[in-house]
């Protein structure tokens, strides 16, 4: 019963997100709120409730659900998405240092997730860690692009991204 309701709520949330339909998202959110109240120790339900709030533009309300899901031991792909959701939400709410901490945790746990790295670079920028932000963005760009001109200069650009403050005079 619980799993069926959760599956229905998640499908409804995904439909609402895809259509950008706030009324569908509101219905999904209501279903998930009932589940979250009925099953307060279920990390997946807490996580999905957070996502439903986030998808509805209610990031501030999403945070406690994301935090609780992590505290309850959320794992795997759901944890990966939860860390991304929580980190990006902290950032747009202006909690930049919290954002950096959560997103760095996410990058350590899921080093191949480029979305986590991209969000981390934004949070690093917001905490005035400009060098780290640019290096992370440039590295991700150069490792994923098929643009011939960028590929031609890839070696040099990667070097410069890691040595942003060096000049020719530093080498002589």
Same fold, 1-74 and 75-172: yes
Structural domain boundaries of the chain?
Answer: 1-74, 75-172
Banded pLDDT at 165 (limits 50, 70, 90): confident
Determine the pLDDT at residue 1.
Answer: 85
Percent of the chain with pLDDT over 70: 98
Helix axes 2-19, 43-55, angle to 10 degrees: 20
Query: With 90 as the cut, is the pLDDT of residue 168 above it?
Result: no
The domain 75-172 belongs to what CATH superfamily? Tetratricopeptide repeat domain (1.25.40.10)
Query: With 70 as the cut, is the pLDDT of residue 24 above it?
Result: yes
Three-state DSSP state, 172: coil
Burial label, 92 (beta-carbon count in 10 A; 0-12, 13-18, 19+): middle
Residue 73: DSSP 8-state: T
Query: With 60 as the cut, is the pLDDT of residue 172 above it?
Result: no
The model's pLDDT over 6-21, given as tens digits with 9 standing for 90+, comes to 999 999 999 999 999 9
The domain 1-74 belongs to what CATH superfamily? Tetratricopeptide repeat domain (1.25.40.10)
Contact status, residue 69 vs residue 82, Cβ threshold 8 Å: yes
Q: Measured between alpha carbons, how far apart are the two ends of the chain, in Å?
A: 71
pTM for the full predicted model: 0.90
Query: What's the chain's average pLDDT?
Result: 95
- Supply angle C-alpha 156, 121, 149, rounded to 5: 30
């Amino acid at each position: 019963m619980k799993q069926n309701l959760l599956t229905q709520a998640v499908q409804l949330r995904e439909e609402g997100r895809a259509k950008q339909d706030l009324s569908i998202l509101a219905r999904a959110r209501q279903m998930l709120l009932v589940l979250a109240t009925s099953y307060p120790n279920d990390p997946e339900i807490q996580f999905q409730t957070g996502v439903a709030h986030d998808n509805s533009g209610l990031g501030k309300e999403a945070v406690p659900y994301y935090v609780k899901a992590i505290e309850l031991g959320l794992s795997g792909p759901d944890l990966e998405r939860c860390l991304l959701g929580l980190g990006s939400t902290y950032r747009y709410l202006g909690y930049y240092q919290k954002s950096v901490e959560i997103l760095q945790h996410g990058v350590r746990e899921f080093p191949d997730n480029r979305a986590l790295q991209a969000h981390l670079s934004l949070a690093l920028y917001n905490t005035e860690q400009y060098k780290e932000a640019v290096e992370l963005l440039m590295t991700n760009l150069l490792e994923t692009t098929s643009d011939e001109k960028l590929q031609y200069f890839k070696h040099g650009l990667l070097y410069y991204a890691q040595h942003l403050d060096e000049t020719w005079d530093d080498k002589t």
